[in-house]
Structure 1
Amino acid sequence: MNRYFENAKGILKRLKSKGYDAYIVGGYVRDKVIGLKSDDIDITTSATPEEVDEVFENVKNTGRKFGGVTVIIDDHKYEVTTFRLEGEYAKHRYPKDVSFSKEVFDDIKRRDFTMNALYMDENENINDKFNGLKDIEDKIIRTINDPKERLNEDALRILRAFRFVSKLGFDIELETLAAITSLKHLVKTVTIERIMVELDKIFNGDYQKKAIKYLVKTGISEELYGIDKGLEYISNIKEFVYPLEVFIISDILGDLEDTWRFSNNNYRLIKQVVNLHEVTKENEFNKYILFSNKLDPCLLTNRINVLLGYKDQKQFIMDMYKDMPVMDVCDLKFKGQDILALTTMNNRRLISLVIDDLLYNVIMGIMPNEYEVLKQFSLRRVAELQKEMGDLNE
């Protein structure tokens, strides 16, 4: 038994026992029809948030202004929203005003696509006012009513269309596709954070390539802050490309704009891999590159190189990694404190130069990682640096 689903039906029954209409709506119903597992149940009802409060014990306030509360049963959360009518939209994203309704049709007709306008009662009967079942059968993504009006209201719906292509493999209906193409400029009215959320879902879907081809075909890719050349290239290769790889390839092939909001770690990784690509795309990795950049960034760079048509060096990298004489500076048999103990040098910047020289020579196999060998090299190098400093001071 699916306790999550059974509890949702229990919510419907409880609301109906109190005289309210209530249905499971949207993505859960769509996925159930398609045969996909879903763990995101939304409920729509004629009850107001205050009335929902009176029916259930554990209710959290998550969007009361817009008619939404969260009902918690057995640690499961259910978004319960009052039937709504929406007025004009502001900035192609949010309704200026929202009013509650007692009719489910008022709520259903404001939704984005026909397949998302299905709603289910407590007996699992599915209601379909916009031929969503037929569109699911035909594997079609179609807006409810006029596509230009629907997409102009909320520009995020444009990206959601591609997300559903990537998830389901459906085609976009021709009038909807034409509207997306004509309204492509509206994508830039969506916040970059929200764009990145949708792109992450697009790039992670089972039908990623189909969705990316649509992004390129409609010109939406040109509105996405410098990833158009990357997307065009990726649309023509067979391999699956992970989200961060899309941005790396786009930065290599085009000019990734600073608009994107990456974590500090991902920003540094993108720049590191782009720089490594320039060094290794036509040349072999070596142990010093591997030591300086670490294994995972080198493997990622190699994957990017391969995706861009360059030689695959993965096995070569792994063999080098297994044969590395040192993995960290602390693995050197002769260290910075030895230089301090055996010489008069106390300039830490110059000591770092000596240690860097030791690392390079040991890693590249020029000298063994043996105390006496490294000691003699270091003493000579210290003397050279001290002489150079003395000459500069004369």
Structure 2
Amino acid sequence: MMQWKWVEAHTAERGMSLLRRLADHGYEGYFVGGCVRDELMGRPINDMDIATNATPEQVLELFEHTVPTGIAHGTVTVILEGEHFELTTYRTEGQYVDHRRPEQVEFVSDLYEDLRRRDFTMNAIARGLDGEYVDPFHGRDDLQKGIIRCVGVPGERFDEDALRMVRGLRFASVFDFELEADTWAALVERRELIRYIATERIRVEMEKMIAGPHPVKGIHLLQKSELVGSMKVHVPCPVARPELLERLERVAGEPWVLRWTLIMLALGFNDEAARQALKQWTFSNAAVDRVVRLLRLHQQLLTVAITDTTDTNNDQQINDDEQTNRNNGQQTNNDMQTDSNSARLTLISGVIHYGQDTAALWRQLYPALPEQDRTHVLRQLYEQAPAWIDQMYAYSLADLCVNGQDVLSALDTRGGPWLGKLMQQLLLAVASGQLSNERHTVLQYARTHAETGGETDA
């Protein structure tokens, strides 16, 4: 009886019931691909794909709840008790178009022919209902040796589908494997074929690589193979700050925004350059915004840290006579208090503009920064941020006791761009505790500000 250790028991049982139903009606059925590989590696399994000699039409007749997902290529999704299983007919593939897709597929009855068309030996292992493995290309041996090896002739596999080159590097990175010599040589020789692959497809592989346990290895392989230079979207190489790339593993792979922000910093990108790059890489607008907000908060906090460093350097230039004339103790305490207050106000402003979640992400990013980047003030921001954020008296305009219309009525004037700026100033003053969140006090502050020129844009 087949036993599965790395998939939920109910998922395994439902998958096996599909194989039993196929067998009861005279068809073959095998688990194939990632689920078999991951079971052998001791990695959690998320889905179970099945290969069968039943045609798509026969599969549709055999099972009640189905979706013709990719019926032209032999794939039917069977839904059993809410779970989805992809059943694909054994097939061979004809000529490939643009080094990515086969022009046509031919359904066959031989499992070996189906496994022979697959990318890497570790993905060309099947497992039957009896629990036995079908492994004609010695994928289990390669798994034990930690080797990524193409099925058959490597150059042919990459000529068929150039995305396999990036997939090979992704597997090597995530599993901490090495590419077999002929597979590596063929990849390097054919690296320019990657220009045929849509950026979106590459981005998906890159996301998995960067989120994995060994992202630095993956990046080094991309650089060494020169695949990066052949992709449709230009990536600066070498990067501006390679030491930041080396620290990727110091932050969590999930949430993914942390590592991608670190990559943007390593590339030397500011917020707008990062926005353009990530859009070119087909990230969603929501994903891009998360990275941009984190970059902007980091840059905002750095301005205080840079000022701190500049002040420290200037202090070192003060000669002995001037230092003697200073009231050392009181002046130092005043300077520290000023720095602390400036840092606190900058953090509060950042939380108002970019959100508490972004501030929390920045604190996860901070430990990955090199020592030379961690100034006294930046370290203080990291240490004090939770308390300072918790002590805020307001977090958004909705928390204020007045709104824009209240301010206009109190000032008896028309709106304009100045109003938005004034409302943000009111929010910062209330959030930081400089101004009590009481209607009379807030409106009086607004009148004073308007009288000193805050309304000039109206």
Match of 1:247 in 2: 260
Q: Is the 8 A contact 1:350 1:385 kept in 2?
A: no
Cα 1:387/1:126, change in 2 over 3 Å: closer
Cα 1:199/1:383, change in 2 over 3 Å: same
Cα 1:118/1:67, change in 2 over 3 Å: same
Task: Decide which moves more: 81-90 or 68-77.
Answer: 68-77
How far did residue 138 of structure 1 move?
Answer: 0.9
Cα 1:277/1:3, change in 2 over 3 Å: closer
2: CA distance, partners of 1:370 / 1:98: 73
Partner deviation per Cα, 1:237-264 (whole Å, 9 max, x = no partner): 2514533334323333435534122222
Aligned partner of 1:266 among 262, 266, 287: 287
Cα 1:299/1:65, change in 2 over 3 Å: same
Cα 1:335/1:127, change in 2 over 3 Å: closer
The total of aligned residue pairs comes to 390
Match of 2:314 in 1: none
Q: Is the 8 A contact 2:116 2:124 kept in 1?
A: yes
State, as a whole percentage, how many aligned pairs show the same letter.
29
* Secondary structure in structure 1 of the residue aligned to 2:250: coil
Task: Verify: 1:46 aligned to 2:18, yes or no.
Answer: no
Amino acid at match of 1:277: H
Partner deviation per Cα, 1:71-91 (whole Å, 9 max, x = no partner): 333333322211111111111
Aligned partner of 1:55 among 59, 62, 83: 62
Task: Decide which moves more: 231-240 or 160-169.
Answer: 231-240
* Secondary structure in structure 2 of the residue aligned to 1:20: coil
Match of 1:329 in 2: 397
* Secondary structure in structure 1 of the residue aligned to 2:262: helix
How far did residue 342 of structure 1 move?
Answer: 3.7
Cα 1:233/1:181, change in 2 over 3 Å: farther
* Secondary structure in structure 1 of the residue aligned to 2:137: coil
Task: Verify: 1:289 aligned to 2:350, yes or no.
Answer: yes
Amino acid at match of 1:251: M
* Secondary structure in structure 1 of the residue aligned to 2:54: coil
Partner deviation per Cα, 1:176-199 (whole Å, 9 max, x = no partner): 122222333333322222222222
Q: Is the 8 A contact 2:251 2:368 kept in 1?
A: no
- Calculate the TM-score normalised by the size of structure 2: 0.75
2: CA distance, partners of 1:125 / 1:389: 78
2: CA distance, partners of 1:172 / 1:341: 71
Cα 1:360/1:144, change in 2 over 3 Å: same
1: CA distance, partners of 2:293 / 2:75: 44
Amino acid at match of 1:377: Y
Q: Is the 8 A contact 1:66 1:98 kept in 2?
A: yes
Match of 1:91 in 2: 98
Q: Is the 8 A contact 1:70 1:79 kept in 2?
A: yes
Q: Is the 8 A contact 1:230 1:247 kept in 2?
A: no
* Secondary structure in structure 2 of the residue aligned to 1:4: helix
Match of 1:299 in 2: 360
1: CA distance, partners of 2:68 / 2:420: 58
Match of 1:226 in 2: 235
1: CA distance, partners of 2:57 / 2:402: 73
Cα 1:230/1:221, change in 2 over 3 Å: farther
Q: Is the 8 A contact 1:67 1:100 kept in 2?
A: yes
Match of 1:141 in 2: 148
Match of 2:328 in 1: none
Match of 1:180 in 2: 187
Aligned partner of 2:164 among 157, 163, 184: 157
Task: Decide which moves more: 209-218 or 364-373.
Answer: 364-373
* Secondary structure in structure 2 of the residue aligned to 1:79: strand
Q: Is the 8 A contact 1:92 1:154 kept in 2?
A: yes
1: CA distance, partners of 2:407 / 2:126: 76
Q: Is the 8 A contact 1:345 1:382 kept in 2?
A: no
Q: Is the 8 A contact 2:19 2:30 kept in 1?
A: yes
Aligned partner of 1:280 among 301, 310, 317: 301
RMSD of the TM alignment (CA)?
3.0
Aligned partner of 2:37 among 30, 38, 44: 30
2: CA distance, partners of 1:136 / 1:118: 11
2: CA distance, partners of 1:14 / 1:343: 78
Partner deviation per Cα, 1:101-141 (whole Å, 9 max, x = no partner): 12111111100111111112221111111111111111111
1: CA distance, partners of 2:102 / 2:449: 71
1: CA distance, partners of 2:25 / 2:424: 76
- Calculate the TM-score normalised by the size of structure 1: 0.86
* Secondary structure in structure 2 of the residue aligned to 1:286: helix
Q: Is the 8 A contact 2:93 2:102 kept in 1?
A: yes
* Secondary structure in structure 2 of the residue aligned to 1:23: strand
Cα 1:174/1:241, change in 2 over 3 Å: farther
Where structure 1 has 5 or more consecutive residues not aligned to the other structure, the ranges are none
2: CA distance, partners of 1:327 / 1:100: 61
Task: Decide which moves more: 86-95 or 58-67.
Answer: 58-67
Q: Is the 8 A contact 1:227 1:251 kept in 2?
A: no
Q: Is the 8 A contact 2:242 2:266 kept in 1?
A: no
Q: Is the 8 A contact 1:24 1:42 kept in 2?
A: yes
Cα 1:355/1:121, change in 2 over 3 Å: closer
* Secondary structure in structure 2 of the residue aligned to 1:78: strand
Amino acid at match of 2:350: I
Cα 1:230/1:100, change in 2 over 3 Å: farther
1: CA distance, partners of 2:88 / 2:125: 15
Match of 2:315 in 1: none
